[in-house]
Amino acid sequence: MAALFPRWANTVVRATLVAATCTLVGVPVALMAWVRTPNATRRYQPVAQPIAFDHRIHVTGQRIDCRYCHFSVERSASAGIPPSSTCVACHSDTWMRSSELALVRASIATGQAIRWSRVNALPDFVYFNHAIHVAKGVGCETCHGRVDRMAAVYQAAPLTMSWCVDCHRDPAPHLRPLSEITTMGWTPPTAQRAFGEELVRENNVRSLTNCTTCHR
Amino acid sequence: MISTRAVIGLAVAFCPLALACGDSPERERLDFERMRLQQRYDLYGKSGVFANHQSMQAPPTGTVTRESALDTGAAGTGMSGGQPVASVPVSLTPAQLVLGERKFTIYCAVCHGAGGFGGSIVAENMGPPRPPSLRSDSLAARPDGYIFDVATHGKGRMPAYAVELTPMERWAVIGYIRMLQQSRTLTPAQRADSLRAAAIHSSDSLFSETPRAAGAFP
């Protein structure tokens, strides 16, 4: 009796098996890799804003602390977009006639808030709280990057869940003293691991990995 | 012929997989979106309900916050019998003075300098009248309630800090300012402030008709 399959059918079967395995494994892996790329997380993409506010001028140039404008960061879930009155506190005469500040003037006149574009967005099922993070020694720079060098602010961190959980499992490598929260370009005085462990004890930093820590 | 049947067989075997890929129902994807973008107001979000399309609304005129309702005495207003209170009307613990230092560094040092000499970069860049030194004899002689009033309502080019600082934090800052006035040692940042203040004032006095008294800055 003649062979049921021709000899090359073996090759077809092997090739199909290899292709099927590659597809079954490769497609999910590729998708998982894709959602972590800066393209998918919208990392490093400067966001156009209604006013070309330059953090470099204010942070590096004028040495203004982050919390001077984002003053609710220590007591609220939101760091706060400063109200137009905060702009006008200094710009009541400094650069007040500049066309860059036209929207600020309009906002003060009408009481209508300036529509800034969101840069760091989390899904609505994630409840992030700024106050507890800065109170436990997570610096602005740790998540927001070198804002003092950004002409237009961009998202510096991937903001993926694995990125959050990495730090929640093991906070020590990401902590800094409470006095250095807003410092840009801070470097640990000694090896970060030992220094961070010390800060964990000092500030009673807990490793919270319950689902309900962030999802409610 | 037979091999064609094998190929068809393989194709049939992969059919469920292909269907599973193409079968992702739109409803399921929308449900995920509904989790990601929930029907609720976020801070700084949009609203179709209010005329100004903002989810955050300013409280009606005349609204009294619980804090301000509680702090009608000297601790909340810095005033007693229409006069500024002479000294801080709350007890300040060492921890609160540390808080005062922190708040001073954030909100006051921007203009008045890390050591209160008035030698900040902002002060250097702005034209006169510049932020005054907090170490002057005239301010040392002022009552604490006066500083509280200035911090609460602003003065001259200085804005009000009633929103940024709670009354308790303002008293803590005043406690720290009084410590600064007593202090005779300087941190590196405070020394830089003192040197810059001296430079600002010497350049200012070049252009002013009445030069400042020498030795006003250590």
Q: Does a structural domain hold residue A92? A: no
Judged by CB atoms closer than 8 Å, whether chains meet at B2 and A4 is answered as: yes
What pLDDT is stored for residue B77 in this prediction? 84
pLDDT tops 50 at residue A76: yes
Which residues constitute the domain of residue A131? 55-81+116-214
- The whole-number average pLDDT for the span A190-208 is 94
Mean pLDDT of the residues in chain A: 92
Could you tell me the two tokens for A93?
């005469």
* Residue A24 located in a structural domain: no
The C-alpha atoms of residue A201 and residue B1 are separated, in whole angstroms, by 75
Interface of A with B in 125-144 (CB under 8 A): 125
pLDDT of residue A83: 92
Residues of chain B with confidence (pLDDT) below 50: 1, 19-23, 215, 218
In chain B, where the domains are located? 84-207
Within a domain: A179: yes
Residue A4 pLDDT grade (very low, low, confident, very high; cuts 50, 70, 90) = confident
Would residue A188 count as lying in a domain? yes
Residue of A nearest to B2 (CA): A5
What is the predicted pLDDT for the residue at B218?
Answer: 45
pLDDT for B190 equals 92
If contacts are CB pairs under 8 Å, which of residues 32-71 in chain A contact chain B? 61-65, 67-68, 71
Residues of B with CB under 8 A from a CB of A: 2-3, 6-7, 10, 14, 35-38, 40, 42-44, 52, 54, 56, 58, 102, 105-107, 109-110, 120-122, 125-126, 157, 159, 163-164
pLDDT of residue A60: 92
Q: What's the whole-number mean pLDDT along residues A117-126? A: 92
Whether A7 is in a domain gets the answer: no
Q: Which residue has the higher pLDDT, A143 or B66?
A: A143
Task: Specify the pLDDT at position B14.
Answer: 59
Instruction: Label residue A120 by pLDDT band (50, 70, 90).
Output: very high
**Overall CATH class of domain B84-207:** mainly alpha
Q: Which residues in chain A are contacts of B42 at CB distance < 8 A? A: 124
C-alpha–C-alpha distance, residues B65 and B56, integer Å: 16
pLDDT over 70 (residue A91): yes
**What mean pLDDT do residues A139-151 have?**
94
Question: Does residue A16 lie within any of the structural domains?
Answer: no
- Does residue A133 belong to any structural domain of this protein? yes
With respect to residue A29, please indicate whether it lies within any of the assigned structural domains. no
Alpha helices for A51-129 (secondary structure H): 55, 66-69, 84-91, 102-110
Instruction: Name chain A contacts of B10, Cβ cutoff 8 Å.
Output: 16
pLDDT higher than 50, residue A1: yes
Could you give the number of structural domains in chain A?
1
Q: Considering only residues A45 and B12, tell me which one the structure prediction assigns the higher pLDDT.
A: A45
Q: What pLDDT is attached to residue B173?
A: 96
